[in-house]
Structure 1
Amino acid sequence: MSEAKANFDLNSAEERLEKRILVLGSAPHTRQISSYAWDRLPESLNVADYDVVILNLEPFLDQNFADNINIERFPSWQHFAKLVFSQGSELIIIGQPTIYIGKNPRINISMWLPPLLPELVVDSGEEIRNIDPEFTYYFKYVRRWFFHRTSNYIPNEYIWTHYLNLVHPQADDLGIRYHSLAQTRFQEDIAFRMKFQALGVAGGNFIDSQKPLAVLRISGDVICLPIPTEISAQEAVDLILQERYKLQFESTPPAWIEAYKLPHELPIEAEIDRCKDAIKQLEKELTAATIRLGEESRFRKLLYEQGEAALEPVVRDVLRELDAQVDEPKQPGKEDGRLIDLKQRRGMLEIKGLTHQLKLREVRQLDQWVRDALIDEDWESKGILIVNAFRNEPLGNRGEPFPLNCIQAAKKSEQCLITTIQLYNALCALQRGELNLEIFWDTIFSTSGVFSLPGLDLLCTNS
Structure 2
Amino acid sequence: MSEAKVNCDLNNGEERLEKRILVLGSAPHTRQISAYTWDRLPEFLNVADYDVVILNLKPFFDQNFADNINIETFPSWQQFARLVFSQASELIIIGEPTIYTGKNSYIDISMWLPPLLPQLVFDLGKEIRNINPEFSYYFKYVRRWFSHRTSNYNIPNEYIRTHYLNLVHPQAENLEIQCHSLAQTRFQEDIAFRMKFQVLSVDRGNFIDSQKPPAVLRISGDVICLPIPTEISAQEAVDLILQERYKLQFESTPPAWVEAYKLPHELPIEAEIDRCKDAIKQLEKELTAATIRLGEESRFRKLLYEQGEAALEPVVRDVLRELGAQVDEPKQPGKEDGRLIDPKQRRGMLEIKGLTHQLKLREVRQLDQWVRDALIDEDWESKGILIVNAFRNEPLGNRGEPFPPNCIQAAKKSNQCLVTTMQLYNALCALQRGELNLEIFWDTIFSTSGVFSLPGLDVLCTNS
Give the CA deviation at 1:363: 0.9
1:140–1:313 distance in 2 versus 1, CA, 3 Å: closer
Q: Structure 1: state its 5+ residue gaps.
A: none
1:348 and 1:124 map into 2 onto residues whose CA distance is: 46
Deviates more, 1:117-126 or 1:82-91: 117-126
Contact 1:7 1:179 in 2 (8 A): no
| Matched position secondary structure for 2:203 | coil
Which residue of structure 1 aligns with residue 445 of structure 2?
A: 444
Q: Alpha-carbon deviations, 1:44-75, whole Å to 9, x = none?
A: 99999997699999999999999999999999
1:172 and 1:230 map into 2 onto residues whose CA distance is: 44
Which residue of structure 2 aligns with residue 407 of structure 1?
A: 408
1:63–1:272 distance in 2 versus 1, CA, 3 Å: closer
Deviates more, 1:215-224 or 1:321-330: 215-224
Q: Alpha-carbon deviations, 1:10-52, whole Å to 9, x = none?
A: 9999999996979999999979799999999999999999976
TM-score by length of 1: 0.55
Give the CA deviation at 1:377: 3.0
| Matched position secondary structure for 1:361 | helix
TM-score by length of 2: 0.55
Deviates more, 1:442-451 or 1:101-110: 101-110
1:267–1:347 distance in 2 versus 1, CA, 3 Å: same
Deviates more, 1:398-407 or 1:73-82: 73-82
Q: Alpha-carbon deviations, 1:406-444, whole Å to 9, x = none?
A: 222111111111111221121112212232323322222
Larger radius of gyration: 1
2:127 and 2:388 map into 1 onto residues whose CA distance is: 88
Which residue of structure 2 aligns with residue 328 of structure 1?
A: 329
1:120 and 1:459 map into 2 onto residues whose CA distance is: 42
Give the CA deviation at 1:298: 1.3
1:291 and 1:171 map into 2 onto residues whose CA distance is: 62
Contact 2:122 2:148 in 1 (8 A): yes
Give the CA deviation at 1:237: 15
1:335–1:77 distance in 2 versus 1, CA, 3 Å: farther
2:320 and 2:125 map into 1 onto residues whose CA distance is: 85
Aligned length: 463
2:386 and 2:258 map into 1 onto residues whose CA distance is: 74
Contact 1:17 1:246 in 2 (8 A): no
1:139 and 1:35 map into 2 onto residues whose CA distance is: 23
Contact 1:27 1:35 in 2 (8 A): yes
Give the CA deviation at 1:396: 3.9
1:205–1:231 distance in 2 versus 1, CA, 3 Å: same
Q: Alpha-carbon deviations, 1:136-161, whole Å to 9, x = none?
A: 99999999999999999999999999
Deviates more, 1:362-371 or 1:351-360: 351-360
Deviates more, 1:181-190 or 1:404-413: 181-190
2:284 and 2:185 map into 1 onto residues whose CA distance is: 62
1:317–1:142 distance in 2 versus 1, CA, 3 Å: closer
Give the CA deviation at 1:110: 28
Deviates more, 1:258-267 or 1:348-357: 348-357
Give the CA deviation at 1:83: 13
1:70–1:446 distance in 2 versus 1, CA, 3 Å: closer
Give the CA deviation at 1:331: 2.8
Deviates more, 1:192-201 or 1:413-422: 192-201
1:65–1:407 distance in 2 versus 1, CA, 3 Å: closer
Q: Alpha-carbon deviations, 1:362-412, whole Å to 9, x = none?
A: 111110111122223332221101122333444344443323322221111
Contact 2:47 2:75 in 1 (8 A): yes
1:4 and 1:59 map into 2 onto residues whose CA distance is: 26
Contact 1:4 1:177 in 2 (8 A): no
1:81 and 1:423 map into 2 onto residues whose CA distance is: 61
1:126 and 1:424 map into 2 onto residues whose CA distance is: 41
Give the CA deviation at 1:276: 1.8
Q: Structure 2: state its 5+ residue gaps.
A: none
1:67–1:353 distance in 2 versus 1, CA, 3 Å: closer
Which residue of structure 1 aligns with residue 262 of structure 2?
A: 261
| Matched position secondary structure for 1:380 | coil
Deviates more, 1:339-348 or 1:54-63: 54-63
Contact 2:26 2:235 in 1 (8 A): yes
Share of identical aligned residues, percent?
90
Give the CA deviation at 1:274: 1.6
Which residue of structure 2 aligns with residue 191 of structure 1?
A: 192
Contact 1:304 1:391 in 2 (8 A): yes
1:98 and 1:460 map into 2 onto residues whose CA distance is: 40
1:105–1:462 distance in 2 versus 1, CA, 3 Å: closer
Deviates more, 1:258-267 or 1:204-213: 204-213
Q: Alpha-carbon deviations, 1:221-278, whole Å to 9, x = none?
A: 9999999999999999999979996945423322221111111111112112222222
1:240–1:453 distance in 2 versus 1, CA, 3 Å: closer
Contact 2:177 2:197 in 1 (8 A): yes
1:140–1:326 distance in 2 versus 1, CA, 3 Å: closer
Contact 2:327 2:341 in 1 (8 A): yes
1:49–1:365 distance in 2 versus 1, CA, 3 Å: farther
1:17–1:139 distance in 2 versus 1, CA, 3 Å: farther
Deviates more, 1:79-88 or 1:162-171: 162-171
How large is the Cα RMSD of the aligned pairs? 16.7
Deviates more, 1:214-223 or 1:411-420: 214-223
Contact 1:316 1:326 in 2 (8 A): yes
Contact 2:6 2:20 in 1 (8 A): no
Give the CA deviation at 1:321: 1.0
Contact 2:8 2:247 in 1 (8 A): no
Q: Alpha-carbon deviations, 1:135-191, whole Å to 9, x = none?
A: 999999999999999999999999999999999999999999999999999999999
Contact 1:13 1:245 in 2 (8 A): no
